[in-house]
Amino acid sequence: MLRLIEKVIKTALILAIITIIISVSACLDTNTELENNVENTEVTVESISNVTWEWTGTIEEDAKTPLVVPDPKKYTIRFMEDGTYYIVADCNTGSGTYILQDSSINLNPGPVTLMECGEDSIGNKYLAYLGNVDSVVLEGEQLKLYLKGNDDRMLFSLQY
């Protein structure tokens, strides 16, 4: 009977280790899918403006898994060449101004509608992230907005 219990414990331990390994590898695969390994492009007003960027996710260094946006078309930003930007945050819209200098970007929020979008909305999280952006990287057709003080980043793809 004691040997049977030992075998069950060993089997459970092995299954737990396998589950952890699969979970960690799935997280690594998700990071790879969210971020393209493409060479950085110089970020200029012209290179990011007059197109709509869809928020596809956020990678936070201390989070176990990245945030994947369920419906990127509901969370967009559009930079204009005149230094203004327009956002859609689920059922809300807004605008503001931005200053781009080399890879530094400062988003100055303007008016935003304040409708309640429902409990599944991540609109408030989106707005909070945007309020904390301080730098930008353009890799191919992916825009990365880095958050102040860490390596956390919002990922955007071109809207077609």
Q: Do 148 and 86 share a domain, yes or no?
A: yes
Q: pLDDT grade, residue 41 (50/70/90)?
A: confident
Q: Do 75 and 115 share a domain, yes or no?
A: yes
- Is 0.85 topped by the overall pTM? no
Q: Do 3 and 56 share a domain, yes or no?
A: no
Q: Do 24 and 89 share a domain, yes or no?
A: no
d(CA 26, CA 36): 16
Q: Residue 26 corresponds to which tokens in the numbers above?
A: 């799935």
Residue pair 156/144 in contact by the 8 Å Cβ criterion: yes
d(CA 29, CA 49): 30
Structure letter (DSSP) for residue 66: -
How far from 21 is each of 18, 28, 89, 121, 141, CA to CA, in Å? 5, 11, 36, 32, 32
Structure letter (DSSP) for residue 151: S
- For residue range 122-159, what is the model confidence (pLDDT) as tens digits? 999 999 999 999 999 999 899 999 999 889 999 999 99
Residue pair 88/74 in contact by the 8 Å Cβ criterion: yes
Alpha helices, DSSP H, located in the chain: 2-34, 45-48, 123-130
List the domain range (segments joined by +) for residue 19.
1-34
Q: Do 7 and 81 share a domain, yes or no?
A: no
* Mean pLDDT (whole number) for 33-51: 76
pLDDT on residue 77: 98
For the chain, what is the domain count?
Answer: 2
Q: Residue 154 corresponds to which tokens in the numbers above?
A: 């919002």
Q: Do 125 and 60 share a domain, yes or no?
A: yes
